[in-house]
Amino acid sequence: MSDETPQRTIRGVGTMGKAWLAILAILFVVGFGAWVYQLMEGLIVTGMNNVFAWALYIMLFVFFVGLSAGGLIISSVPKFFHSDRYDSIAALGVLVSFACIVVAGLLVVPDIGRPERLYEFFTSPDFRSPMVWDFGIVIVYGAFTAGYLWLLTRRDLAAMGSRLAFGVKDTEAGRERDRRISFWFAAAAIPLAVALHSITGWIFALQIGRGDWFSPLVAPMFIMKALVSGLGLVIVTAILADRYTTFELPREQVPELGKVLGVFVAVHIVYLVGAERLPGAWAENFGFWDITTGFLVGETVYFWLWTVVGGVLPLALLVIPSIRKRVWAVFAASVFAIAGILFEGVNLIFVGYTDLYIDAAPGVTTGRGYVAMGSDIWATVGAYTPTVVELLISIGLIALGALIVTLGLWYLPVQSGEVLAPPASDTPDSDATVANGGADSDAD
């Protein structure tokens, strides 16, 4: 962070920045404390039971695996086609991907009944288990994003004299070489991302035991969910970073990113969800309008949250070019799209665990709640409400993700490294950058 080289890390961490960091650190520490408490008491302090056996941690695991897609895709796909489009957010995107996959991986740990035995994934794995596949791919993906992030920033780190360059020198030949290497990283990133999201989908889609989970469409759906929520998160992060730090997001890229997000949302909510629902609705109903109603009208509140909040609202904001030009509209559409995908993940777990195949009275023993003779330990439907402990642990891990992104913004040259070797399309000046929809940009 020397002053003689052009600054690619963000400048001027003010009081607000420090306060933000402190809040995140406190949330993380509180979450860690809650996890220690859960370790001592066992999973009895969660809201889970034998019927509803996976809950908030797994819902968020699925969500964060999806979120990790966006940054890697937005930085690797253009590179793969030898384009420098979106170079300005490439490093930031990969940083967000890395943070999300770290959060996703860690969210599994509190879900495990005996985490001290996790080493058995290495000592006695069963390669039939989709969980083993997912364990492998999450680790590979996490290591890959970390390596890719370093590749994208190491010459700039060297130019800054940062120790994080690990001896790499900032030379023109070296930068050219890194550009070639990053093509191969980009080529590897795409199948890796497809594998990560498909395998995470197959954890559910291979199970005959949980109602509608068993569906070949789940893996493609997971890929689209990842593209929608992941791109949404990159947009949100870039706009916030532009608003509150010296990070600069070229203004003209916002509607472009919005357009891509709109296409993803349309493919996901309009096409794939439709394709998933039509066969059932057609087979179950007889009249034309019955089929149409069965197709369009969902049964659960989550369905509406996910299709309206995650589909209709973002599409409405992104479809019209004059609205799409406004930063607030793209920002809001991204937030809605992310929220929709979160509801969809919640819905997935509820779909699996609410109804039992064999629900004759008195049902299944819940595995908790025995106090004395006559205690009701039975359930014929799954029900779940998260406990404070679950919420604190989850918030703590999400805060850790935000910490990684914030510290990355501070210490890594996430601002486009093209400043040293300016290409044709130079990074625009601050007056051309996103200015939160017209208001003045006050970077602190």
Partner 1 sequence: MTSYGMVIDLERCIGCQACSTACMEENNVSLDHIWNRVLTEGGDNIDTPAGKYPEDGGDGTGTMSMEYLPMACQHCDNAPCVKVCPVNATYTREDGIVEIDYDVCIGCRYCIAACPYNARAFNYDKPVHVPAEGTGNVPERPQGVVEKCTFCTHRVEEELDPACVIACPADARIFGDLDDPNSTVSKYVDKYETEQLLEELEADPKTYYVRGQMSPGRQRPTTELEGTRRKKTSIPEGGEQ
- Footprint of partner 1 (CB under 8 A): 42-44, 46, 48-51, 53-54, 111-115, 117-118, 120-121, 124-126, 128-132, 135, 203, 206-210, 352-353, 356-358, 360-370, 375, 377
Closer Cβ to partner 1, 58 or 434, answer by number: 58
**Structure-block tokens of residue 264:** 């993803």
Whole-number Å distance between alpha carbons of 248 and 430: 7
Closer Cβ to partner 1, 127 or 286, answer by number: 127
DSSP string, 288-320: HHHHHHHHH--SSHHHHIIIIIIIIHHHHHHHS
CB 219 to partner 1: min, Å = 17
Closer Cβ to partner 1, 128 or 163, answer by number: 128
- In the chain, the N- to C-terminal Cα span, in Å, equals 17
Q: What φ, ψ does residue 381 adopt, rounded to 5°?
A: -135, 155
H-assigned helices in 161-266: 172-205, 218-244, 253-265
Residue with tokens 């969660």: 46
**Cβ-Cβ contacts under 8 Å for 311 (sequence gap 6 or more):** 265, 268, 269, 270, 273, 340
Closer Cβ to partner 1, 57 or 86, answer by number: 57
CB 88 within 8 A of CB 237: no
Closer Cβ to partner 1, 245 or 366, answer by number: 366
CB 247 within 8 A of CB 413: no
CB 90 within 8 A of CB 97: no
CB 412 to partner 1: min, Å = 34
**Structure-block tokens of residue 335:** 């937030």
- The number of angstroms, rounded, from the C-alpha of 392 to the middle of its chain's C-alpha atoms is 19
- Residue 397 burial (CB < 10 Å; 0-12/13-18/19+)? buried
Closer Cβ to partner 1, 46 or 97, answer by number: 46
Closer Cβ to partner 1, 173 or 283, answer by number: 283
∠ CA 342-90-244, nearest 5°, is: 70
Closer Cβ to partner 1, 297 or 381, answer by number: 381
Q: Would you tell me how many other CB atoms lie within 10 Å of the CB of residue 163?
A: 8
CB 30 to partner 1: min, Å = 23
Whole-number Å distance between alpha carbons of 304 and 328: 24
Q: At what angle do helices 69-80 and 172-205 cross, to 10 degrees?
A: 130
- The number of angstroms, rounded, from the C-alpha of 294 to the middle of its chain's C-alpha atoms is 31
**Structure-block tokens of residue 62:** 């699925």
| Of the candidates 443, 440, 419, 437, the residue with the CA atom closest to the CA atom of residue 88 | 419
CB 163 to partner 1: min, Å = 38
CB 209 within 8 A of CB 53: no
Longest Cα–Cα distance of the chain, Å, equals: 78
Closer Cβ to partner 1, 106 or 269, answer by number: 106
CB 120 to partner 1: min, Å = 4
Closer Cβ to partner 1, 208 or 283, answer by number: 208
User: What are the C-alpha distances in Å from 314 to residues 232, 311, 430?
Assistant: 10, 6, 27
Closer Cβ to partner 1, 34 or 265, answer by number: 34
